[in-house]
Amino acid sequence: MKEREILFLKEISKFIPRDRIYTDELRRLAWGTDAGFYRLVPKIVIRSKGEQEVSELLQTADRHQLPVTFRAAGTSLSGQAISDSILIIAGKHWENYSISADHQSISLQPGIIGQRINEVLAPFGRKFAPDPASIKSAMLGGIVMNNASGMNCGTHANSDKVLLSARIILADGTILDTGNPDSRNAFEQSHPEFIRQIVRLRDRVKHDEQLSSRIRYKYSIKNVTGLNLLPLLTFDDPFDIITHLMVGSEGTLAFLAEATMQTEYDYPHKASAMLYFEDIKEACRAVVALKGITSPTGERIVKGAELLDWKSLASVNDPTGEGLTAVLTETKACTSEELNERIAAIKEALAPFRTFTPIYFTDNPEEYSKYWAIRSGIFPSVGGTRPLGTTSLIEDVAFHIEDLPEATAELQQLLAKHGYEDACIYGHALEGNYHFIINQSFHTEKEVNRYEDLMNDVITLVVDKYDGSLKAEHGTGRNMAPFVRYEWGNDAYDLMKSVKQLFDPKGLLNPGVIFNDDPKCHIKNFKPLPLTNPHVDKCIECGFCEVNCLTCGFTLSSRQRIVLQREITRLTQSQEDPVRLKTLQRQYLYPGNSTCAGDGLCSMSCPMSINVGDLTHDLRQAAIPVGSLSYSVGNWTASHFRGVKKGMRSVLTLADAAHTVLGTTVMSSLTQRMHQLVKVPLWTPSMPKAYQIKENVKRDAANHTEACKVVYFPSCINQSMGVSAQSPVKQPLVEKSIQLLQKAGYEVIFPKEMDKLCCGTIWESKGMPDIADRKASELEEALWEASQQGLYPVLCDQSPCLYRMRNTIHKMHLFEPVEFIYTFLRDQLEFIPTEQPIAIHITCSMRKMGLDKTFISLARLCANQVLVPEEVGCCGFAGDKGFTQPEVNAYALRKLKPQLEQHDIRVGYSNSRTCEIGLTTHSGISYISLVYLVDQCTRPKKNLTH
């Protein structure tokens, strides 16, 4: 680190906590790597929080002449947001929003995710207009500053069209709110020359008819190559111009602290069709026809038309698409009658074209959402089919619609000419905008030259032949920076340079992006992707997983864990820097290994279902080889599990006695101190008392003979833990479950020797899969006998345990409580819903088993007001992490308590005892099993039927 960087670090440490400033090898690499195919490692990473902080950061960087790059998330795939200097992150601390009273506009901070914006607008019948395919992971800052548009918004509703005002922080630290009169007046006083320069640039454009015509033509289709020049032609007010210059500027002009944007009407009626064509030209001609269909009022009927070539379809295993080209088409309407009219109009327009299958539109959301999920996942899915170790590279170009059929076919031929036989073309055909994906190795000079030759030919095709856009959306990036002048010409490029000089006279904001004097910058600084683990080798580091990773923004995200393990593998293989290798391995242990919940939710938002928990389990297994002390302890506990449970009960009894004597305050303080000093598992007031199933409970269950029988295997946790002192219920779950089952007319059968049985999750999570499988095998044998060789269903009262049982035991019907109650008990019971509002927590295992909707449906049978808290995924307790790393549990549930208070929730329900402990600890209310609620809200029907 150079002297000025050291001085910068010393100064910012006075106003930013050190836990949000990263200078270590591990986190600089983790945060410095994005989804693109370039890599620069920043010297300093700062997790920013608040406008004043960013203002002071920029002032400090300005004093020390240090370059600064900003990053939110999403839409940046071509080197838009990487840095070898200072990287300022605007993510988890920048998620606030406010909706106008009439719901026509919304003010958004840069860290809020696009899908979240749509969730908060949905109750008002409104939506966020820009709709990139990555909207489930892309943040507002990434969307606006790259002008990422998407499937439906085209050029008529992209960020430039719907942006009303912005709060920005200039390179000198000045905060300007272009929608606030006081801020505008203050800026006019403090920066009069800045305003005068904006006016001069505006007049220069408007008085140059040739340049004006050029700008209009270039922006008649999607175009984000270079800076956005359209505001200089569209607006007169200098503050409107400043506002819209931000769109697509990629952080080269200012920091976007907030954007106020128009919301869009969300049509209540929608329908989509997947149209298949035998020829890509025919598909494009059909798209041209679709674009021309309008309603009597002049509204465009077709809202989206996404082309997917046959290789795109093959990547998502489309059974119909072999050798074909598809066009995913969407139309929307205010009424169902109008929707049918629009579908009819589309079919009429398509009559002259030959489709491979009959045209079929569906207005069923469950059906058409699958089409759009396929479209959204194309890039990572194609990336998953690449030869392992190569880079999946995406670019997007745009043609004028009249050129679309010929240009598309030529682009396809061009990719084949350069040997990219596995390349695919897909994208927003209605706007003439295509993405093309190639799988590229940069290991040899020959491969780099092949890529350079391809890009040169693409530029010739797009610019010279069709005068299209080299970048249609998602920002210019380093990949297209050398060609901005070539596409636009000298006059327009010089105008862009004048804008850059005005906003950033020292050239410190995101240098090398949009403006780069190195004509070869696009073939330098490639990111390596070495093979590291079969579970994750297909990953292209797109970041789709991060929205479901509970430690994202706390320690490391799932994507960052893969990034780091790849670098550790690379250094291990090359032996180029043993010191750095050991440093990364050491620094990875806590944030990478210890705090990973291993819950697997990351796989649910990954189009290739990559589970980073599997990687973590492999690393843990490698750290405790057979014969090691840790392995021997694990093996001993498995063989003496009855005694281990007895010991657990003794510890719980001792803790409860101490709590009774010392009181909550003293007990909490004492155990907190012990946890900090010697890492004793943390006690909380939510800790339950000890419990052991009494023989009379087993006997009574067996004596209750009914026609229907169920084998009930209480999890190890529920065999050992009862209720806590503060719980609203007093009866242990095992006994309550028996009571509910008997109420519905079921005889309960327990497997023999339950005290020694376990599903094996404990050992699997610790990296001992062989011991885990041994325990699962023991359990399977006992359940097989108890169920009369699979004749009776098997119920386990802990969803995480049941999840593992289903993955290891396949010859019996296994159920967790929600599914069993909804499937078998619902018709046997009369539900009397409570008026008291309740909250439910859907566990990771339930989500992975696809039971989340079942849980919600069952809860709504029991209560008229059911809250599923937003942005609360995995609770982070993860077996025992709530005891050993309670900070993970606290971070995962940081957004829970305010929502419960807002809705006056007094009790919450789940179906995992350990999760309930953590939820109770961090919510301010008690969480208990849903079994209690079902029992409370039901009575047996007079005539039970089975």
Give rounded-to-5 percent helix, strand, coil for the chain. 50, 15, 35
Q: Angle at CA 405, nearest 5°, toward 404 and 408?
A: 75
Whether residue 945 is predicted with pLDDT greater than 80 in this model: the reply is: no
Cα distance between residue 207 and residue 296, in whole Å: 37
Cα distance between residue 574 and residue 530, in whole Å: 11
Question: Torsion angle, CA of 642/644/649/655, rounded to 10 degrees?
Answer: 180
- State the alpha helices, DSSP H only, in 787-895: 799-808, 817-820, 844-848, 852-862, 881-884, 886-892
Instruction: Please state the three-class secondary structure of 802-826 as a single string.
Output: HHHHHHHCCCCCEECHHHHHHHHHH
Which CATH number, 3.40.50.620, 3.40.462.10, 3.40.50.720, 2.60.40.1170, labels domain 269-474?
Answer: 3.40.462.10
In terms of CATH architecture, what is 828-940? Answer: 3-Layer(aba) Sandwich (3.40)
Q: What are phi and psi of 840, to 5 degrees?
A: -125, 150
pLDDT at 943: 64
* Per-residue pLDDT tens digits for 830-862: 999 999 999 999 999 999 999 999 999 999 999
pLDDT interval class at 537 (50, 70, 90): very high
Q: How many CB atoms lie within 10 A of CB 534?
A: 11
Cα distance between residue 582 and residue 255, in whole Å: 36
User: Can you tell me the mean pLDDT for 921-926?
Assistant: 95
Q: Yes or no: say if 220 and 400 are a contact pair by the CB < 8 Å rule.
A: yes
Q: What percent of the chain lies above the pLDDT cut of 70?
A: 99
Domain range annotation of the chain: 269-474, 530-623, 657-825, 828-940
Cα distance between residue 631 and residue 766, in whole Å: 9
Crossing angle for the helix pair 209-218 and 192-206, nearest 10 degrees?
Answer: 90
Question: Comparing 131 with 335, which gets the higher pLDDT?
Answer: 335
pLDDT at 75: 59
User: Can you tell me the mean pLDDT for 891-900?
Assistant: 96
The pTM assigned to this predicted structure is 0.93
* Per-residue pLDDT tens digits for 725-778: 889 999 999 999 999 999 999 999 999 999 999 999 999 999 999 999 999 999
The three-state secondary structure class of 72 is coil
pLDDT at 373: 83
Q: Is 791 exposed, middle or buried (0-12, 13-18, 19+ CB in 10 A)?
A: exposed
Whether residue 780 is predicted with pLDDT greater than 60 in this model: the reply is: yes
Q: List strand residue ranges (DSSP E) for 659-816, in order.
A: 688-690, 708-713, 721-724, 746-749, 794-796, 814-815
For residue 489, give the nearest of 202, 155, 159, 217 by alpha carbon. Answer: 217
What is the maximal distance between C-alpha atoms in the chain?
95
DSSP letter, residue 157 = S
Place of tokens 């408007």: 206
Cα distance between residue 902 and residue 896, in whole Å: 10
Q: List strand residue ranges (DSSP E) for 390-482, in order.
A: 391-398, 424-428, 433-440
Bridge-based pairing of strands 746-749 and 829-831 is: unpaired
pLDDT interval class at 946 (50, 70, 90): low
pLDDT interval class at 944 (50, 70, 90): low
User: Can you tell me the mean pLDDT for 394-420?
Assistant: 91
For residue 783, give the nearest of 750, 761, 755, 756 by alpha carbon. Answer: 750
Q: Is 474 exposed, middle or buried (0-12, 13-18, 19+ CB in 10 A)?
A: buried
Report the mean per-residue pLDDT for the chain. 93
pLDDT at 381: 78
User: Can you tell me the mean pLDDT for 649-656?
Assistant: 89
Whether residue 160 is predicted with pLDDT greater than 80 in this model: the reply is: yes
